[in-house]
Chains A and B, each alone.
Chain A
Amino acid sequence: GDSVTQMEGPVTLSEEAFLTINCTYTATGYPSLFWYVQYPGEGLQLLLKATKADDKGSNKGFEATYRKETTSFHLEKGSVQVSDSAVYFCALSDRAGGTSYGKLTFGQGTILTVHP
């Protein structure tokens, strides 16, 4: 079945440091890929997405490129801020056969803490 593997956290960085959170996936079809962010005590918010190979999703300074050859969708940001402290989830939606009903498969989440 489909699966998503994220780098284990927690990740602790100083403000303005470079961020990478690794995400790799296994899917039978041609998935769409997503990054979600969850701030403390809140629901998940869509951060960015990519729907086909070599697509780059970007939002709020975050970027991720859909790499089919390495089955990866790593999240990056050049300079993190304290306000970026949150839990980040990588997810995929497998469109194989059109029967996925929009279901997402999530990674386990990576806790990011940014210190001033």
Chain B
Amino acid sequence: GEDVEQSLFLSVREGDSSVINCTYTDSSSTYLYWYKQEPGAGLQLLTYIFSNMDMKQDQRLTVLLNKKDKHLSLRIADTQTGDSAIYFCAESISQATDSWGKLQFGAGTQVVVTP
């Protein structure tokens, strides 16, 4: 199947690091993504990683990819109250006529940052 799995909830104290985990199933996925959704808003692309990379860092965000275990994680350093949101992991699913394919999303992880 095409399942992307994430834990549903994460509580973190302001200033601490938060780590959101995700597992995916399609070993041929070319890109893996992290999107952020704030209440009442659309999905904002946070970062992505190409499947031939192990790590990508972008300011406070660090993405780690373990292809062997099909495990993706997003680490947010110095978590702020503005980071409270739902975070979605997504993998690209290639199609026969479209190698870039569509995105398969996880259920989302609700991150709550407490003062």
Whether A and B are associated in the same complex: the answer reads: no
Interface, chain A (partner B; CB < 8 A): none
Interface, chain B (partner A; CB < 8 A): none
